Amino acid sequence: MVSDMSNSRATASVVVPLFNEEENVAPLCAELREVAAADPRVVQVILVDDGSTDATLARCKEECAKDGRFAVVGLRRNFGQTPALSAGFDLATTDLIVPMDGDLQFDAHDIPRLLDKVEEGYDVVSGWRQRRQDSLLTRRLPSWMANKIISWITGVKLHDHGSTMKAYKRELLKDVRLYGEMHRFIPALASWMGISLAEVPINHRARRMGKSKYGLSRTIRVILDLINVKFLLHYSTSPIQVFGKLGLVSILLAFLALAEVIVRKIWYHDAMNRNPILILSVLLVLVGIQLISIGLLGELQIRTYYESQKKPIYAIREVFRATSGQDLAAKSATSFAEASASAKATADKPAVKKDAENGGSG
């Protein structure tokens, strides 16, 4: 069961990364202004120009001049969608953050529905493009397969991991550092903190203007990032568990191969020096030792990483102290201080008496 949020309504920022979307900037900002006017929770809109080579940045500045709730960030070059989103997250100052693409395929009027779901007590609310308006072979089918694989590997069950439109509590994004194409894996990366997650169907529209920046070329990068996420989720604090296990398996296979060589020597009188399996067993032992060594080095690096930054390996949702517990702690501290003072006074008395006797005898 999900707990309710406090009575005070949270504020929200909308972060929109843009790359060569000059035709879409004006209608996008018009939609966002409508949403901000209708929903007082939306107090900030951050447009991040990701090194566009057209007039996108100039159009963003024009729209920003019309509304004080808008801010524009211009990156020096095209860093990619994940760094652009990260720049917007860093500049957001509200309780909630809602990223979305700037190609007008997402409907800004869905933002209040995401915020309403967050106010029910969820940490992350993901937009689900239930009726996606994209090509079947190049977009929807690969996306369907990717969503199944990502859900299976990460354990985070979502219909649409690739949807940029999500609502996050800002406290979650504070400790999540994004690299590569990691923005689609934010719910998975935050899942180790024990987040509560919900999914809301959203409107999805066909692209009307501009050129899509997505395609099958991203598949390989997503697969590699998925392997990285799997490692970070399960072995980031104990790399020896993955490399050590692989090393032990390699050494076990080496002994099995060596046993096979010995059996063939005894029973079939095969020459050991001509048996390639003997060389394979030696190679497997060396590989096993190297894997275990990598795991040990990883353990040293992990300790350096966490201890140098005083970074905890846990996440606290809240700390609760009852008033009676605080009074009890205060009373205990007072009693302890009084007992210590009494013991000190008692310990000093014999010393004073002894000094007086010594003075009298002298």
> Which residues, at least 6 apart from 68, have a Cβ–Cβ distance to it below 8 Å?
none
Q: Does the pLDDT of residue 287 top 90, yes or no?
A: yes
Tell me the residue type at 231.
Answer: F
> CA-CA distance, 244 to 235, in Å (whole number)?
11
When pLDDT is cut at 50, 70 and 90, the band that residue 261 belongs to is confident
Q: Does the pLDDT of residue 305 top 70, yes or no?
A: yes
Q: Does the pLDDT of residue 336 top 60, yes or no?
A: no
The structure tokens listed for 15 are: 């972060």
pLDDT (0 to 100) of residue 218: 67
Strands 70-74 and 124-128: unpaired
| Assigned fold of 12-235 | Spore Coat Polysaccharide Biosynthesis Protein SpsA; Chain A (3.90.550)
Higher pLDDT, 314 or 18: 18
Are 96 and 169 a contacting pair, CB within 8 Å?
yes
Higher pLDDT, 213 or 306: 306
Q: What angle do CA 146, 13, 9 make, to 5 degrees?
A: 110
Are 85 and 21 a contacting pair, CB within 8 Å?
no
Radius of gyration of the chain (CA): 31
Dump pLDDT digits (tens) for 109-132.
999 999 999 999 899 999 988 887
Dump pLDDT digits (tens) for 41-60.
999 999 999 999 999 999 99
């369907």: which residue's tokens?
144
Distances (CA, A) of 285 to 198, 249, 257, 271: 47, 10, 11, 21
Run of H or E including 13:
strand 12-18
Q: Does the pLDDT of residue 338 top 70, yes or no?
A: no
* Helical pair 276-308 and 240-268, crossing angle rounded to 10 deg: 170
Domain ranges of the chain: 12-235, 247-308, 321-362
Are 186 and 173 a contacting pair, CB within 8 Å?
yes
Are 105 and 205 a contacting pair, CB within 8 Å?
yes
| Helices within the chain (DSSP H only) | 22-38, 56-66, 81-91, 111-118, 141-154, 170-173, 186-190, 219-235, 240-268, 276-308, 323-361
Q: Does the pLDDT of residue 179 top 90, yes or no?
A: no
Percent of the chain with pLDDT over 90: 37
